[in-house]
Chains A and B, each alone.
Chain A
Amino acid sequence: MNGKTDTGAAEALKRVEEREANVGLADKLYKVKYKTDELTHLKIKDQEVCRKCEDKPCIARCPAEVYEWEAEHGQVLVAFENCLECGVCKIVCPYDNIDWVYPRGGYGVVWKFG
């Protein structure tokens, strides 16, 4: 920033900067606009396959943390409503165990900028 920016703007920037410093993924996803369907468009074909899957790359590779390992019942939970529709999960799944389709027409993510 240089002298051309007035001090008011500089102070406003600083406030935003402080606010943004500790922003986590949940806050980022909060900025995404969705039209959420009642039905999931992402299904695990067979939880037994996930139980045996050592790495579960769907969990770490999803940019929106849609997949979560729930240890008590030994299953992968799918928060489909956070899905950004990139398609990474179905490609990294070593067992082709995700039934992946886009949300129904008109549902899912609605980008504001793209």
Chain B
Amino acid sequence: MTQGNQGVDKNFDVIVVGAGPAGLAAATVAARAGLNTIVIERGDQPGTKNVMGGILYTKPTAEVWPDFWKEAPLERAIVEQQAWMLTPDSALKGGFRSDKLLDGAPNAFSVLRVKIDRWFAAQAQKAGALIICQTMVEEVLREGDTVVGVRCGREDGELYAPIVILCEGVNPQLAISLGMQKKLRPHQVASVVKEVINLPEQVINDRFHVADSSQGVAMELMADATAGLLGMAFIYTNKTSLSVGVGVTLADAIDCPYTPYDLFVRFREHPQVAPLLAGGETVEYLSHMIPEGGYNAMPQLFGNGVMICGDAGMMVNSLHREGSNNAIRSGMLAAETAIEAHERGDFSSRVLNRYRERLEHSPILADLRKYRNATGFMEHHPVFQVYPQFAADAAYEMMSVDGESKRSKQWKILRMLFERRSIFGLAWDGIDAGRSFP
């Protein structure tokens, strides 16, 4: 890996800013097509600045790196997905487990970003891309309204290319500087605190009921898991550690009495969660933001000589915790557009508009558009405070045997519901949910 830019030619076909999943996918695809491609990364090595919860979907990843799952440093193939609704003392659990999720190429894997990004970077280099680390892009260079290159935070750091692909992550400083994105607002991002907690392989297998360390479980936990704030907690099993995190929308967190670390400790010590983590040793404490503004908060995705991918492009479907797959896909589509632009010798937005068209034909924009009002719904509704507690209380009523008839218990449960939410409130929640989750 090149650490400096001495002796580096200053003219490229494509400049990619950022060595995350989006940038490395873009670089791999562009370099494979023979384009002279450079990736500029501010971290020590690709991956050392990158954070995610830890689930990577196979199919979109394999579109760029076929059969990657046979050799990449993955943690566990996900055989079971669990969703828990927590109340202060209880857990209402749902889930799906099936060996079908492992058939052929498994559907998803838990991953640790430092390992997997380094592997993606190696693939980009094999394809012919040049990766320069420890280098900050400080400015995007323009001639008129056309992007022509970047200026790095080094002496003599100007690099030029007719196409610059911005994969700078959730803090889109360069996109903002170009006027393509606005300063992010608290309701558009979630703040996440995560710990990597070591546990012996066998203990993880036993606690999560998997046969061996090739299989794992992904859990998402809601309601009291985030003290009722809009957000989600997660536990993902790695080979010899758990990735455990709590994320809440910043708009909701801003007036909250808990600090992000308090929220994490509160979750970790929950009576239904603590036994899963007991005895674990924290080996890393991390923080990161997730861009959750959705379709309505997306930047202008292309301009003359420039395209924006991944988190910088707000391409996260927070309801389905899909981010890295959208990053990889969008990077690939930007690179395909860059290849087309080079073939046609036209790098203006007339041709780069094809990037937007490609996104339109992929699941990325279709899904983001589908859920464009979902976050707004969740922000403004009492559902996340009222219903989990109600459901847990109802379950407790039905399951406890105490001499009361089941019919009488059912009436009691109905009364409980109406005490907490009026019939109009219930009807409105149903209608609005239907509209927000089409």
Instruction: Give the interface of A toward B (CB within 8 A).
Output: 1-2, 4-5, 9, 13-14, 16-17, 19-20, 23, 25, 28-29, 31-32, 35, 57, 60-65, 84-88, 91-92, 96, 101-106, 108-114
Sort A-B residue pairs by CB-CB distance and give the 10 closest, nearest first. A106-B134, A114-B113, A13-B279, A28-B285, A63-B287, A105-B136, A63-B260, A114-B114, A84-B287, A87-B171
| Set B49, B253, B254, B282: member contacting A31, Cβ < 8 A | B282
With contacts A9-B203, A111-B286 taken as known, whether A87 is within 8 angstroms of B170 at the C-beta atoms is yes
Chain A hits for B237, CB < 8 A: none
Cβ of B436 within 8 Å of any chain A Cβ, yes or no, is no
Assembled-state Cα–Cα distance A86/B173 (Å): 13
With contacts A16-B281, A31-B282 taken as known, whether A111 is within 8 angstroms of B48 at the C-beta atoms is yes
Chain A hits for B202, CB < 8 A: 4-5, 9
Chain B hits for A111, CB < 8 A: 47-51, 113-114, 284, 286
Assembled-state Cα–Cα distance A38/B280 (Å): 35
| Set B185, B279, B288: member contacting A91, Cβ < 8 A | B185
Q: Are A91 and B206 in contact (CB under 8 A)?
A: no
Assembled-state Cα–Cα distance A33/B15 (Å): 29
Assembled-state Cα–Cα distance A101/B285 (Å): 21
Chain A hits for B196, CB < 8 A: 113
Cβ of B63 within 8 Å of any chain A Cβ, yes or no, is no
List the B residue with the shortest CB-CB distance to A83: B287
With contacts A13-B278, A16-B280, A17-B279 taken as known, whether A104 is within 8 angstroms of B136 at the C-beta atoms is yes
Cβ of B224 within 8 Å of any chain A Cβ, yes or no, is no
| Set A17, A57, A102: member contacting B278, Cβ < 8 A | A17
Cβ of B261 within 8 Å of any chain A Cβ, yes or no, is yes
| Set A1, A87, A101: member contacting B289, Cβ < 8 A | A87
Chain A hits for B285, CB < 8 A: 25, 28-29, 31-32
Assembled-state Cα–Cα distance A19/B209 (Å): 27
Chain B 247-290 per-residue mask, 1 if CB under 8 angstroms from chain A, else 0: 00010011000011100000000000000001111111111110
List the A residue with the shortest CB-CB distance to B189: A91
Q: Are B281 and A114 in contact (CB under 8 A)?
A: no
CB distance from A84 to the nearest CB of B (A): 4
Assembled-state Cα–Cα distance A86/B260 (Å): 12
Chain B hits for A13, CB < 8 A: 199-200, 203, 278-279
CB distance from A98 to the nearest CB of B (A): 12
Chain B 170-205 per-residue mask, 1 if CB under 8 angstroms from chain A, else 0: 110100000000011110010101011001101100
With contacts A88-B191, A88-B289 taken as known, whether A114 is within 8 angstroms of B250 at the C-beta atoms is no
Q: Are A86 and B191 in contact (CB under 8 A)?
A: yes
CB distance from A85 to the nearest CB of B (A): 7
Tell which of A4, A91, A92 has the most Cβ of chain B within 10 Å.
A91
Assembled-state Cα–Cα distance A32/B49 (Å): 12
Instruction: Give the interface of B toward A (CB within 8 A).
Output: 42-44, 47-52, 112-115, 117, 133-136, 152-154, 170-171, 173, 183-186, 189, 191, 193, 195-196, 199-200, 202-203, 206-207, 241, 250, 253-254, 259-261, 278-289
Assembled-state Cα–Cα distance A14/B199 (Å): 12
With contacts A32-B285, A85-B49, A86-B289 taken as known, whether A110 is within 8 angstroms of B279 at the C-beta atoms is no
Q: Are B250 and A91 in contact (CB under 8 A)?
A: yes
List the B residue with the shortest CB-CB distance to A96: B183
Q: Are A110 and B50 in contact (CB under 8 A)?
A: no
Chain A hits for B286, CB < 8 A: 32, 84, 111, 113-114
| Set B51, B253, B283: member contacting A61, Cβ < 8 A | B253
Tell which of B52, B241, B250, B286 has the most Cβ of chain A within 10 Å.
B286
Q: Are A105 and B281 in contact (CB under 8 A)?
A: no
Chain B hits for A62, CB < 8 A: 260
Q: Are B170 and A110 in contact (CB under 8 A)?
A: no
CB distance from B55 to the nearest CB of A (A): 13
Q: Are A114 and B287 in contact (CB under 8 A)?
A: no
Q: Are A110 and B44 in contact (CB under 8 A)?
A: yes
Assembled-state Cα–Cα distance A32/B202 (Å): 26
| Set A35, A92, A105, A109: member contacting B254, Cβ < 8 A | A92
Chain B hits for A84, CB < 8 A: 286-288
Q: Are A64 and B287 in contact (CB under 8 A)?
A: yes
Q: Are A1 and B207 in contact (CB under 8 A)?
A: yes
Q: Are B253 and A102 in contact (CB under 8 A)?
A: no
21 A-B residue pairings within 8 Å (CB atoms): A1-B278, A4-B202, A20-B282, A28-B261, A28-B282, A28-B285, A31-B285, A63-B193, A84-B287, A87-B189, A88-B287, A91-B184, A91-B185, A91-B189, A105-B154, A106-B42, A106-B43, A111-B49, A111-B286, A113-B284, A114-B47
With contacts A9-B200, A113-B284, A114-B117 taken as known, whether A4 is within 8 angstroms of B206 at the C-beta atoms is yes
Q: Are B171 and A102 in contact (CB under 8 A)?
A: yes
Chain B hits for A17, CB < 8 A: 278-280
Assembled-state Cα–Cα distance A60/B135 (Å): 31
CB distance from B129 to the nearest CB of A (A): 18
Q: Are A16 and B52 in contact (CB under 8 A)?
A: no
